[in-house]
A and B are shown apart, each in its own frame.
Chain A
Amino acid sequence: MGSYITKRLLISIPLVLVISFVTFGFIHLSPLDPAEVVLHSQGIPTITDELLAQTRAKLGMDQPFLTRYLNWVVSCLQLDFGDSYVTGKPVWSMLGPAFLHTLKLTLVSTFAIVVLSIVLGVACALNAGKWVDKSVRGISFCLTSMPSYWLAALLIWYFSVKLDLLPTSGMESYKSYILPVIVITISYAGIYFRMIRSSMLSNMNEDYVLYARASGLTEKKITMHILRNSLQVSISVFCMAVPIILGSTVVVENIFAWPGLGTLSVKSILSRDFPIIQAYVLVLAVSFILFNTVSDIINAALNPKLRDGL
C-alpha cells in the first residue's frame, strides 16, 4: 500500500509543474502592463513614466520570462506566492483565510450532500418505479435546475427576513452556515443521488444478491451489501465533489457575503491582481490533484485489485 501511495504522489509532480507553467504563461500573455495594473489598482490618480519604470523594476518585470517563472516556482514551493498588486500584502495572507473559509463551507456541504444523496438514493432504489421514487426525482430535478442565486435570494427572504430565524449573510455563527449549505447541497445532491440510485439498481441484479437471498439472508443485510458495493463507485465522485465545490462557490459566496475563495478570485480578476489569480488557480489545481489521489488511494484500499494496476 505504501509503495502505491508513493507512486501515485510521484506521478502528480510533473502534472503540478505543467499546471504552474500554463498558469504563469497565460497571465503573461495578457496585454496589460503589470506595473500599470499595480498603480491603477492602488488607486493612484495620476501615473507618471518615472513611477512606471520604478514599479516595473520593483516587480522584477525587467527580467526574462523563464527567470521570472523559475523564481516564482521556487518561492511557491515555500508557500510564498508574492505580494498582492492591490493591497501589497503577501498573497498567502489573503488566500489562506479565504481558502479556509471556503473549505469549511465546502466540507460541511459535501457532508450534507453525501448523507442526503445516500438516503435519497437508497430510498429511491428500494422503491424504484413507485411514487416515492418518482416524486423525489421530480422535485430534485426542479430544485437542481433552479439558479442558485435565485434559490439563495428566496431562502434569505423567507427564513431571514420573513421568519427572522437566520442571518441574511456573513459568517458570524453556525447559523450562518445553514442557508449557504442548503443552497450548495440542493444544487449538487440532486445529481449525486441519481448516481447512487442507479448503481444500487444495477447491483440489485447481480448474482451475489440472488445467492444471498437464496441462502436466507435478511433483506436488511442484503441491502447493506448492495449499498457497500454501490458506494465504491461513488467514492471517487464524492471525493472530487470537494474541489469542484471549492472552485464554484462564487455565486453563493457573493450573495451570502462569505469572505471566501470565490469572492476573492472574482475581486482579483476584476482588479487584475495577477499574483492572487495565479496562486488561486494553482491552489485549486493542486486540490483537484490531491483529492483525485485521495480517492484513488481509498479505492485501492477498498479494492486490492486496483493496486496492481500501477
Chain B
Amino acid sequence: MTRRMRFLVRTFMVSIVLLVGCSNSDAAKTESTDTGKEIVYATSKDINDMNPHFYSGSMPAQGMVYESLVENTADGIKPSLAESWEISGDGKVYTFHLRKNVMFHDGEPFNAEAVKKNIEAVQSNASKHSWIKLSTKIMDCKVLDEYTVELVLSEPYYPTLVELSMTRPYVFISPKNFVNGGTKDGVNGYNGTGPYKLALHKVDQYAVFEANENYWGGAPKVKKITAKVLPAGESTFLALQKGEVNFVFTDDRGANSLDVEAMNQFAASGEHQIIRSQPMNTGIIVANSSKSESPVHETAVREAFWHAIDRETISKQIFEGTEQAAYTLFSSNVHYANVKLEKRGYDLEKAKKILEEAGWVIGNVGEIRTKDGKPLVMKLYYDVNSSTQKTQAELIQNTGKKIGIDLEIIGEESSSIAKRRSTGDYDLLFNQTWGLAYDPQSTIAAFTSKSSYYHTTRGISQADELYKKIEQVMVSTDEEKRKSLYADILTIVHEEAVFIPITNGRVTIMAPKNLQGISFKQTQFELPFERMYFE
C-alpha cells in the first residue's frame, strides 16, 4: 500500500514538472523589456481578432497595422494611401490616385487590384456594416489602371471621404490573407500597409508590434510596441511602478485602466507625463421621448431635468477636472457643430418654474411632484462597469429630489442597456456620442436607426421634419446647405432636450517623460505611435 501511495505521489510530481515545463518555451523573451526604447502599453483586454473588416479587434492595434485611402486630420481630409482624388460633378464618382511603391507587410504590392478586392470583401458582408452609410451607397469599384481606382456611388453622399478614413472597415489587408476569396469567413494573416506589423500574439497575454522598416512614410522611430493584457487596475498600477509597463491610455469606449488619482501620483513622481487630447466625445443622458406613459415624454420635464444636472460638480468631483462640463450635444470643435444654442446651466429655480408651468405641482417641500395624480418618477439606467456613471447618477438623483423629481437609478450590463435603447424600454440612460470623426454624421444618422436613437427622437413633435433633414443632409452636395441643415437638426434636438449633455470626454495618455512627439488623431480609438520617439 505504501508503494502504491509512493507511486501516486511520484506520478503527480512528474506530471506537474511536465506541465510546467511546457510553458517555458519562450521565457525570457519578454521577461525583461528594455523600457528605455520600447513602448509597453497596458490593455484591459486582448487585441482579439485583427481582421480589419470585423469589429471585435482592438482599434488602437488595428490602427497601427492597417491604413485607409485618406486620413482625417484637424485640417480636413488629407492623403494617405491615396495621393490625390477627384470627385465628379454629380458627386457620385470618386477617382483615387494611389500612392506608388507601397507594400503590404508580406511583400505583396498595394495597387488598384488590392483596393478593389478589399472594398468588395467589405461590401460582400454589407449587413454587418449598415452603420456606415457609405456601405449602402457603393455600387461599384473599378480598376482604371494599376494605381487608379474609381468608386461609384448610387447617390451623392458627402461623408464619403470621412467614412473612408475610419479605422474600419474601409482599410486594406493583403489579398493573400483572404480566405475563400474574401474576409467574411476570416483571414489567414494580418498584413496591412501600416507603420507597424503584428509580430507575435499570445492570446490573453500580450501582442508585439514591430516597426515596418519599409513604411512609405518612413520607418517609425519606436521600434517595438507591446500590448500587455492586464485585466485588473491594481496589476496595471504595480506593473507601471516596476516598469514592466510604461504607457497607458484611454482604451476603447472610455474604459480607463487607471483612475485619475493613481495617474496623478505617477506624474508627481517625475518619471511619467500625462497628456490629454482636445474633447473627443460627449457623455450624455438619452431621454426616451416616445415613451408616452412616462413623464419623460414631455419636453418640459426633459428641460427641467437638464437644468437639474450640476455638470461643474460632476466635472470637478467625479472626473477631477479631466472632463469638462458640456452644454451641447457636440462640442464646438466638432465639424458643423459650431451652432449658437441656448445654454441651459445648473439652475434648480428655473427647473422648478418650468415644471410648475407645465402643471407638475408639489404639495410640501421634499415630496414628489404630480400631474393629474401621476407622480414624477423616472428610471435612469447606468452601465455597472463604468467607474463613474453610478456616482453621476447618484448625484443627479440627489439634485432631482430637491425639485420634486423621483429618479430611480438602475445599474445594468452594457449589452442590456444597448438592448433597452433599441427596444425603447427606458426613460433615461447613459450613453456617449461616437466621437470625433464619427460626430456629427454617424451619431446623427443613428438618430433614425431603430437600434440606436429612434425611440429617443420619435416622440418629439418635429420628428418627421427632423428625419427629413437628416436624410437631406447626408446626400446634399452643397456645403452651405449642409451647414444650415446641421444647424437645424442640432437646434431641434437641443430645444427638445432629448440628448442631455454632461461632460466632454478626452483621450488621456500617460507615458515616460522622455517620450516625445505624442499627439492624437481625429478619433478616440487610435494613437499615432509612428510619430513618437524617445529622447
Q: Which parts of A237-273 form the interface with B (CB within 8 Å)?
A: 254-257, 259, 263-264, 267, 270-272
B74 interface hit (Cβ, 8 Å):
no
Q: Are A104 and B49 in contact (CB under 8 A)?
A: no
Instruction: Select from chain B the residue with minimum beta-carbon distance to A51.
Output: B127
Q: Mark B221-256, 1 if CB is under 8 A from A, else 0.
A: 000000011111011001101101000000000000
Instruction: Give the residue of A97, A153, A173 whose beta carbon is less than 8 angstroms from that of B31.
Output: A173
Q: Mark A139-158, 1 if CB is under 8 A from B, else 0.
A: 00000000001000100110
Q: Which of B9-17, B307-315, B352-360, B394-402 contacts A (4 or more CB under 8 A)?
A: B9-17
B79 interface hit (Cβ, 8 Å):
no
Q: Which of B19-27, B114-122, B480-488, B516-524 contacts A (4 or more CB under 8 A)?
A: B19-27
With contacts A161-B238, A172-B31 known, is A263 near B127, CB below 8 A? no
Q: Are A255 and B49 in contact (CB under 8 A)?
A: no
What CA separation (Å) do A119 and B234 show in the bound complex? 34
Q: Which of B100-108, B170-178, B416-424, B503-511 contacts A (4 or more CB under 8 A)?
A: B416-424
Instruction: Give the residue of A43, A51, A156, A172 whose beta carbon is less than 8 angstroms from that of B55.
Output: A43
Report whether over half of chain A's contact residues are helix, strand or loop; otherwise say mixed.
helix
Q: Are B16 and A108 in contact (CB under 8 A)?
A: yes
Q: Are A256 and B128 in contact (CB under 8 A)?
A: no
Q: Which parts of A133-190 form the interface with B (CB within 8 Å)?
A: 149, 153, 156-157, 160-161, 164, 167-175, 177
B5 interface hit (Cβ, 8 Å):
yes
A-side contacts of B29, CB under 8 Å: 172
B131 interface hit (Cβ, 8 Å):
yes
Instruction: Select from chain A the residue with minimum beta-carbon distance to B449.
Output: A46
Q: Are B239 and A169 in contact (CB under 8 A)?
A: yes
A42 interface hit (Cβ, 8 Å):
yes
B456 interface hit (Cβ, 8 Å):
no
Q: Are B203 and A46 in contact (CB under 8 A)?
A: no
Q: Are B415 and A272 in contact (CB under 8 A)?
A: yes
Instruction: Give the residue of A40, A172, A263 whose beta carbon is less than 8 angstroms from that of B415.
Output: A40
Q: Are A173 and B422 in contact (CB under 8 A)?
A: no
With contacts A32-B419, A161-B238, A169-B235 known, is A259 near B20, CB below 8 A? no
A111 interface hit (Cβ, 8 Å):
yes
B-side contacts of A271, CB under 8 Å: 415
What CA separation (Å) do A98 and B203 show in the bound complex? 10
Q: Are A164 and B203 in contact (CB under 8 A)?
A: no
A80 interface hit (Cβ, 8 Å):
no
B4 interface hit (Cβ, 8 Å):
yes
B193 interface hit (Cβ, 8 Å):
no
Q: Which parts of B439-486 form the interface with A (CB within 8 Å)?
A: 442, 446, 449-452
Say how far B165's CB is from chain A's closest CB, in angstroms: 16
With contacts A88-B49, A257-B232 known, is A170 near B127, CB below 8 A? no
Instruction: Give the residue of B56, B131, B416 whose beta carbon is less than 8 angstroms from that of A45.
Output: B131
B430 interface hit (Cβ, 8 Å):
no
Q: Are B8 and A46 in contact (CB under 8 A)?
A: no
Q: Are B238 and A298 in contact (CB under 8 A)?
A: no
Q: Are B19 and A173 in contact (CB under 8 A)?
A: no
Q: Are B16 and A164 in contact (CB under 8 A)?
A: no
Q: Are B16 and A169 in contact (CB under 8 A)?
A: no
Q: Are B229 and A257 in contact (CB under 8 A)?
A: yes
B-side contacts of A298, CB under 8 Å: 8
Interface size on B, residues (CB 8 A): 63
With contacts A48-B451, A174-B24 known, is A263 near B231, CB below 8 A? yes
B-side contacts of A302, CB under 8 Å: 1, 4-5
A-side contacts of B238, CB under 8 Å: 153, 156-157, 160-161, 168-169
Instruction: Select from chain B the residue with minimum beta-carbon distance to A257.
Output: B230
Q: Are A88 and B186 in contact (CB under 8 A)?
A: yes
Instruction: Give the residue of A36, A161, A173, A254 whose beta carbon is less than 8 angstroms from that of B241.
Output: A161
Q: Mark A47-90, 1 if CB is under 8 A from B, else 0.
A: 11111001000000000000000000000000000000011100
What CA separation (Å) do A161 and B245 show in the bound complex? 12
Q: Are A111 and B16 in contact (CB under 8 A)?
A: yes
Q: Are B451 and A167 in contact (CB under 8 A)?
A: no
A203 interface hit (Cβ, 8 Å):
no
A-B contact pairs, 19 of them (CB 8 A): A42-B56, A42-B128, A43-B54, A44-B131, A45-B131, A100-B19, A104-B22, A111-B16, A156-B235, A157-B238, A169-B238, A170-B205, A171-B23, A259-B202, A259-B204, A264-B204, A270-B413, A302-B1, A302-B4
Known: A43-B56, A302-B5. 16 other contacts (CB 8 A): A44-B55, A46-B131, A87-B48, A88-B49, A157-B238, A160-B238, A167-B31, A170-B206, A171-B205, A228-B1, A228-B2, A254-B232, A255-B235, A257-B235, A259-B202, A302-B1
In the complex, the 9 A-B pairs of residues with the closest C-beta atoms, listed nearest first: A43-B55, A259-B204, A46-B131, A173-B27, A45-B131, A47-B451, A51-B127, A104-B19, A168-B239
Q: B residues within 8 Å of A by Cβ?
A: 1-2, 4-5, 8, 12-13, 15-16, 19-20, 22-24, 26-31, 45, 48-49, 54-56, 127-128, 130-132, 186, 202-206, 228-232, 234-235, 238-239, 241-242, 244, 385, 413, 415-416, 418-419, 422, 434, 442, 446, 449-452
